[in-house]
Homo-oligomer: A and B are copies of this chain.
Amino acid sequence: MPGNFNPHLSVDCVVFGFNGHELKILLINRDAINEQSQSGKLKLPGDLIISGEMLNAAAQRILTEFTGLQDIYLKQFGIFDDPDRLAPYSDLEWLEARTGLKIERVVTIAYYSLVKIDLSIPTDLSIAYNARWYSCSSVPALIFDHNRIVEEGLNTLKRELLTEPLCFKLLPEKFTLNQLHRLYEAILGLSFDNRNFRKKIQRLPYIIPLNERQNGVSHKPALLHTFSYEKYLDLKKENTSFIL
Contact = CB atoms under 8 A, between A and B. Distances in A.
A3 interface: no
A79 B82 contact: no
Interface of A: 6, 8-9, 51-52, 54-55, 76, 78-79, 81-83, 105, 107, 109, 162, 184, 188, 190, 192, 197, 200, 241-244
A237 to B, nearest CB: 16
Nearest to A192: B244
A152 to B, nearest CB: 12
B162 A242 contact: yes
Nearest to A84: B52
Nearest to A159: B163
A229 B214 CA distance: 50
24 contacts: A6-B8, A6-B105, A8-B8, A8-B9, A9-B107, A51-B105, A54-B82, A54-B83, A55-B79, A55-B107, A76-B78, A76-B79, A79-B79, A79-B109, A162-B242, A162-B243, A162-B244, A188-B242, A188-B244, A190-B241, A190-B242, A192-B244, A197-B244, A200-B244
A162 B184 CA distance: 22
A242 B160 CA distance: 12
Nearest to A58: B81
A52 B9 contact: no
Contact of A83 (B52, B190, B242): B52
- 9 interchain residue pairs of minimum CB distance: A8-B8, A55-B81, A52-B83, A162-B243, A54-B81, A184-B244, A190-B241, A76-B79, A79-B109
